Chains A and B, each alone.
Chain A
Amino acid sequence: MLLQDIQRRFSDVLLNRDIRLQTLFEGELKTNSRIPQSIALEIYKNNVSMACVNTLRSILSCS
């Protein structure tokens, strides 16, 4: 299933499970963005785009 495979590899990249995977994964991304793909992945890795992160942390703390 494409969706599951994408999510598995995306999460592996974000969790730094396999650094080599990042290069492979970038091949699946569109290249017309103003954001370099490596920076985009870093944004997600570092939860920079995390308007909801405090909320998610609260989920983790109570689950």
Chain B
Amino acid sequence: MNEQLVNDAGIGLRGQHTSYVLDNKPDIGWFEILADNYLSAGGLVADQLVAVRDCYPLTFHCVGMSLAGTDSLDMAYLARVKMLAQKIEPEWISDHLCFTRYGQHHMHDLLPFPYTAEALLHVAERVTIIQEYLQRRLVIENVSSYLQFNDSAMTEAEFLSELSIKTGCDILFDINNAYVNEVNHGINARDIIDKLDADRIREIHLAGYEDKGEYLVDAHNNKVADPVWELYKYLIDKTGAKPTLIEWDNDIPEFYVLLNEASRAQQVIESYKTINQFEKAV
């Protein structure tokens, strides 16, 4: 793994910023792309992606594996992900702990499911197949949710931890998702951080939510909120520096806004490193 990527903040690269990035080569540790947007890309878009990869470490974030889905795995989709990965050689590939399809119908969302022993076996089997097919370890993200099932026998954190043990997958911990769930469902985000195995957390996501008054929506349309920054500092204190990504998917601002957010994350990382080095020296 690229050592620089281990220690730095990155930005989710969106299409409207690609030319700016290639023209200006901003000082940022790495980029993550929504791989699904590039699965059929050719011509200029494909060339731009290769050019970005030549300048920065790159990771893939996917939304179409439907890891908890009960439809058969979409092998045509996975084949396209694999082909793109062979071309771009991302540091890793991630997707979400959810289902996105049922009856061959794309549901346009990251949908929750009951966290049961049955579901754990089912998801673990699918993750194992996908990892063997892609010939790499998957990184799996916790999701924001707006409802919970009575049948759940474990928390999402427990489910994700067990899944990691069973399959060897790593964890992408989205702090904004955890905070949205804390406000909406009363699930204490610090408890989740305390329970997750720090060594399995491969990546952290930070994003902005939309405050609806009674509840929050994980809209990716705002700056990272103060409570999420506080949770981020808490997490870094527990786990050490981790690759940290700024995500922004709706009402996307100019690139410098994202760069400022990434700089703030980098400051947290640098503070941790400084304190850690001082403690080692003492």
Roughly how many angstroms separate A47 CA and B120 CA in the complex, as a whole number? 26
Residues of B within 8 A of A21 (CB): none
**Range of interface residues on chain A?**
35 or more
Q: Beyond A55-B34, A56-B63, is A7–B150 a contact (Cβ under 8 Å)?
A: no
Partner of B146, one of A2, A44, A56: A44
Contact B70 A4 (CB under 8 A): yes
Chain B 110-146 per-residue mask, 1 if CB under 8 angstroms from chain A, else 0: 1101101011001000000000000000000000101
Contact A43 B148 (CB under 8 A): no
Chain A 34-63 per-residue mask, 1 if CB under 8 angstroms from chain B, else 0: 110101110110011111111111111011
Residues of B within 8 A of A30 (CB): 147-150, 152, 185
Chain B nearest CB: distance from A32 CB in Å? 7
Residues of A within 8 A of B250 (CB): 51
Partner of B147, one of A15, A29, A52, A54: A29
Asked if B40 is at the interface of the complex by the 8 Å CB criterion, the answer is: yes
Taking Cβ atoms with an 8 Å cutoff, the residues of B that contact A are 34, 36-37, 39-40, 63-64, 68-70, 76-77, 99-100, 102-103, 105-111, 113-114, 116, 118-119, 122, 144, 146-152, 183-186, 207, 214-215, 217-220, 247, 249-250
Other than the given A3-B114, A53-B109, 6 more pairs (CB < 8 A) read A7-B111, A30-B147, A49-B144, A49-B219, A51-B110, A52-B249
